[in-house]
Amino acid sequence: MKQVIIENIEDYNYYLKDKEKNDYKITIMFYDIELPKVNDCLIINKELLKEKGILNLGLMDDYYGRNIENKKDKDLVILIKDNKEIYLKKLYG
């Protein structure tokens, strides 16, 4: 898992940067939560940072994604917002 900071947001496009100063641009659709803002952080699997399509993220009990049962699951994403951790997961389809 990697921590990235949200540097900029344009519509659904999120511009992210990690501690090693690598840049990422991912199209993310967040469902059922207040949208993140610039300077919020994501803790996210490296594989998800390679997404070229749309990364859909929803709440842990959302049935459009797999059941996540451990902290190392590749579909788990943690949004750090206002000093709170919000657990999200990748949705499919």
69: Cβ contacts below 8 Å, ≥ 6 apart: none
Contacting residue, 16, 77, 79, 91, with other proteins by CB under 8 A: 91
Contacts of 61 (CB under 8 A, 6+ apart): none
Residue 71 CB, shortest distance to other proteins, in Å, is 7
Choose, by CB under 8 A, the member of 22, 54, 61, 87 that binds other proteins: 54
Listed ranges 14-22, 33-41, 62-70, 80-88: which one lies at the site for other proteins (CB under 8 A): 62-70
Of 13-32, which residues contact other proteins (CB under 8 A)? 13, 27, 29, 31
Stretch that binds other proteins, among 15-23, 33-41, 59-67, 76-84 (CB under 8 A): 59-67
Asked if 37 touches other proteins (CB under 8 A), the answer is no
